[in-house]
Amino acid sequence: MFPFLYHNWKSKSIRGIVHSMRILAIETSCDETAICLLEATETPAGVEFCVINNITHTQLEHVEFGGVFPAIAKREHLINLPIILDQIMKDQEKPDVICVTNGPGLEPALWCGIVFAKELGAKWNIPVVPVNHMEGHVLSVLVPPLLAGEARDTLGGVRFEFQNNIQFPALALLISGGHTELVLVNNIGDYKIIGKTRDDAVGEAFDKVGRMMNLPYPGGPEISKLADQFSSEKKLELPRPMLHTKDYDFSFSGLKTAVLYHIQSLGETINDQDKQEIAHEFQHAVADVLIKKTNKAIEEFGVQTLIIGGGVAASKFIINSFQENLNKNFPETKLLAPTKGLTGDNALMIALAGYFKIQKNPDAIYNVDDIKAVGNLSL
């Protein structure tokens, strides 16, 4: 491997790792403990990535509580990080650099990954680079579909050439349990948040509505399944909050409350068909609001590529609704969503975001003492 310019690991330039770089990425922002070992090799054609190993462990300990408990997330990260690291590093040489999510996310959870990364950086005498979790979600669409279905497991030796499938300006709609953001992507590494939720995140609203109907946690996939079963004529009309406001912000708490009132009005008489109708109409209300605001931004900024990332991007209904909308209203705009297994939190996306951060600014020095968990870190 190529030498570093600086020899104090606490403040080391990344320049020097030129032709080939092994990145160990660590992601602990919420309830997935994820580590990835990614090798990036410069080729005459560009760069080739090899996912040496990639493990995402979803903490099931939260399921019985119907939501993520920060103290439990922290405990489980602390238990699982060393176990996953052993699996990832089995028969591998030490990496060249560590990339770790430093926000946004749950601070106690983020700290687990950060402290772990710092200790490894010291042990291996390699630099530690903080990475923004949301940038990871944006760049998760760079992984081609060839990894479909496998990406949550160890991906020994899977290779893919980097092909920039994102045409700029692009727009990223990031929808997860913790975030709902519309981000203007002028280039890789050049982002501007133009809108966000004023209250609940989309995934959070899915989960809360799921809980109101006594569905298992997380509610999102359960609501999708229920909605697909609805085949009668729809009578329920839920509100589409902030549909006509001039900004790009969202609000989902009113929609959630409307569902609550409806469920209360049904009382004990609520049956399976009522639940299916609620799920169906709720999904449509969410999609209508997301699409309306996104369309406004596509038009205003002349968006070439629409990226949809985050856990809720696993919803076929949401993705299909966006695709139909683009076909009808913006046929020139291409839709990119992460391949299966990379919609939710994972460390492969953090390794990719880390790689491009290093490429953009190879002389940057990240003093480990300055790397801190920032719960509301912005892009």
Q: Quick one: which of 49, 206, 252, 355 contacts ligand KG4 (CB under 6 A)?
A: 206
Quick note: the x/- pattern for ligand KG4 over 279-318, rule CB under 6 A, is -------------------------------xxx-xx---
Q: How far is the CB of 54 from ligand KG4 (least distance, A)?
A: 15
Pair 308, 173: CB distance under 8 Å: yes
> Distance between CA atoms of 182 and 170, rounded to whole angstroms?
11
Under the criterion CB under 6 A, does residue 207 sit at the interface with ligand KG4?
Answer: yes
Under the criterion CB under 5 A, does residue 176 sit at the interface with Zn ion?
Answer: yes
Residue 200 binding: pick among Zn ion, ligand KG4, none (C-beta 5-8 Å cut-off by kind): none
> Distance between CA atoms of 290 and 175, rounded to whole angstroms?
10
Binding region for Zn ion (CB under 5 A) out of 147-155, 174-182, 213-221, 313-321: 174-182
Q: Give 3-state DSSP helix, strand, coil % of the chain, rounded to 5.
A: 45, 20, 35
> Distance between CA atoms of 177 and 291, rounded to whole angstroms?
18
Q: Using the Cα atoms of residue 139, residue 188, residue 354 and residue 131 in order, give the sign of their dihedral.
A: negative
Find the residue with minimal CB distance to ligand KG4.
Answer: 311
Under the criterion CB under 6 A, does residue 218 sit at the interface with ligand KG4?
Answer: yes
Helix (H) or strand (E) holding 36: strand 32-43
Under the criterion CB under 6 A, does residue 219 sit at the interface with ligand KG4?
Answer: yes
> Closer CB to ligand KG4, residue 121 or residue 219?
219
Under the criterion CB under 6 A, does residue 70 sit at the interface with ligand KG4?
Answer: no
Q: Quick one: which of 53, 59, 224, 321 contacts ligand KG4 (CB under 6 A)?
A: 224
Under the criterion CB under 6 A, does residue 135 sit at the interface with ligand KG4?
Answer: no
**Alpha-carbon torsion angle 162, 342, 242, 197, nearest 10:** -90
> Distance between CA atoms of 121 and 127, rounded to whole angstroms?
6
- Three-state DSSP class for 146? helix
> Distance between CA atoms of 185 and 327, rounded to whole angstroms?
21
Residue 220 binding: pick among Zn ion, ligand KG4, none (C-beta 5-8 Å cut-off by kind): ligand KG4
Q: How far is the CB of 344 from ligand KG4 (least distance, A)?
A: 3
Under the criterion CB under 6 A, does residue 220 sit at the interface with ligand KG4?
Answer: yes
* Backbone torsions φ then ψ of 82, nearest 5 degrees: -65, -35
Helix (H) or strand (E) holding 84: helix 70-89
Residue 16 binding: pick among Zn ion, ligand KG4, none (C-beta 5-8 Å cut-off by kind): none
> Closer CB to ligand KG4, residue 169 or residue 220?
220
> Distance between CA atoms of 159 and 11, rounded to whole angstroms?
31
Q: Quick one: which of 345, 351, 356, 371 contacts Zn ion (CB under 5 A)?
A: 345
Under the criterion CB under 6 A, does residue 113 sit at the interface with ligand KG4?
Answer: no
Helix (H) or strand (E) holding 98: strand 97-103
Pair 152, 357: CB distance under 8 Å: no
Q: How far is the CB of 123 from ligand KG4 (least distance, A)?
A: 29
> Distance between CA atoms of 210 and 321, rounded to whole angstroms?
21
Q: How far is the CB of 356 from ligand KG4 (least distance, A)?
A: 20
Give the binding site for ligand KG4 (CB under 6 A). 30, 176-178, 203, 206-207, 218-221, 224, 310-312, 314-315, 344-345
Give the binding site for Zn ion (CB under 5 A). 176, 345
